Amino acid sequence: MMTTVGFAHPNSSLLFFRNKSTDKSQSSRPKWVSSSSYTSETFYRTDNVQVTQKDDLSGISEGIRKRNKRVFFLDVSPLCYEGNKPSSHAFGHWVSLFFSQVSLTDPVIAVIDGEEGNKRRRELLPSYKSHRRSPNPGRYTKRPHQFVDEVLTKCNVPVVRIQGHEADDVVATLMEQAVQRGYRAVIASPDKDFKQLISENVQIVIPLADLRRWSFYTLKHYHDQYNCDPQSDLSFRCIMGDEVDGVPGIQQMVPAFGRKTAMKLVRKHGSLESLLSAAAERTVGRPYAQEALTKYADYLRRNYQVLSLKRDVRVQIQEEWLVERDTSNDSEVLSSFFSTLHGRY
């Protein structure tokens, strides 16, 4: 018999539940995707510490052992969609692949948007994510996210939801805490916002719909794709905007200010604030770029506030979330979930 225990986090609405008991052709593969990206061992191969069967593990420090360990942060809400449509099948597909091929027994922390999570950003920018509907389980009869919580908790995954905060900010906060403890963090999400967090200790693993599989995206992939550091990613997106999230770019006012200009300036100055400060004191580019950076500086700074991920959410990572995940329930739970879905369609 399985018992479920809930832990309430002080001053928040966090609930932690823990149970006791055929690819398409490579032509559709993004340039940064390599066959080795699909393995769950990518992080271990980037570590300088090598352990063989003959090594005496008792002689390895706890710090090194932790650096060898990964913790996954599962951004749940985007997985509940197929395209722009809510889909329980999509959630089941991606989670089953994630457990069987990616995270394996590594600890997984699932994060879901809290109620009114967009409120602060929408106060700054009313168009922010204004087109998105609240996810629902389609024709599945349970309340939105109830089926998600049920599947994940039965698979021994803690579920974190903080009222008034988006999942992105909660992930960023918990990720930083895990890295500070010596862990490597892997963020499982299709959301490009997380690229701003990539480092030697932080990777992303992305669900590729065309290939129907997960793929790791690392610091090396980022460098190869953009030829700059991830710290510049946020600044670049503040200038260009984010159509998916409803954040207009500077091209709305200055059509000539394109991607090449934005990338060149960001690479040279390193950050949006450095660029704006320089533009306030001297000429940094062609007349149209110079005028745009001085005239619309407040506009760009607002974009930065909207697009930057916060790391100060009032949530604390728990030691019990970082233990090896018990996978014994996975097959039964997921099979039951799919059987229920098939019976209702």
Helix (H, G, I), strand (E, B) or coil at 42: helix
Residue with tokens 């970082």, as numbered in its chain: 322
Amino acid letter, 37: S
Q: List C-alpha distances in Å: 335 to 143, 164, 262.
A: 20, 34, 49
- Residue 99 is given by DSSP the state I
Tens of pLDDT along the chain (345 residues) come to 333 333 333 334 344 333 333 344 444 556 656 444 444 334 433 333 333 333 444 444 455 455 579 999 999 999 998 888 888 999 999 999 999 999 999 999 999 999 888 899 999 999 998 866 444 444 444 454 678 999 999 999 999 999 999 999 999 999 999 999 999 999 999 999 999 999 999 999 999 988 889 999 999 999 998 888 888 889 999 999 999 899 999 999 999 999 999 999 999 998 999 999 999 999 999 999 999 999 999 999 999 999 999 999 999 999 999 999 999 999 999 999 999 887 665
Q: Retrieve residue 184's tokens.
A: 């490597």
216 φ, ψ (degrees, to nearest 5): -75, 140
Is the pTM above the cut of 0.85?
A: no
Q: Retrieve residue 171's tokens.
A: 């992930």
State how far the Cα of 4 lies from the Cα of 19, in Å rounded to an integer: 5
State how far the Cα of 135 lies from the Cα of 129, in Å rounded to an integer: 13
Q: Quote the pLDDT of residue 150.
A: 94
**47 CB-near residues (< 8 Å, 6+ apart):** 67, 68
**170 CB-near residues (< 8 Å, 6+ apart):** 111, 114, 160, 162, 313, 315
**244 CB-near residues (< 8 Å, 6+ apart):** none
Query: What's the CA dihedral at 47, 53, 56, 57 to 10 degrees?
Result: 50
Helix (H, G, I), strand (E, B) or coil at 212: coil
241, 252 in Cβ contact below 8 A?
Answer: yes
Q: Quote the pLDDT of residue 138.
A: 41
State how far the Cα of 159 lies from the Cα of 144, in Å rounded to an integer: 14
Q: Quote the pLDDT of residue 132.
A: 60
Q: Quote the pLDDT of residue 84.
A: 81
Helix (H, G, I), strand (E, B) or coil at 135: coil
30 φ/ψ sector (left φ>0, alpha ψ -120 to 50, else beta): beta
Residue with tokens 């997106």, as numbered in its chain: 237
State how far the Cα of 170 lies from the Cα of 341, in Å rounded to an integer: 30
Other residues' Cβ atoms within 10 Å of the Cβ of residue 294: 12
Q: Quote the pLDDT of residue 244.
A: 86
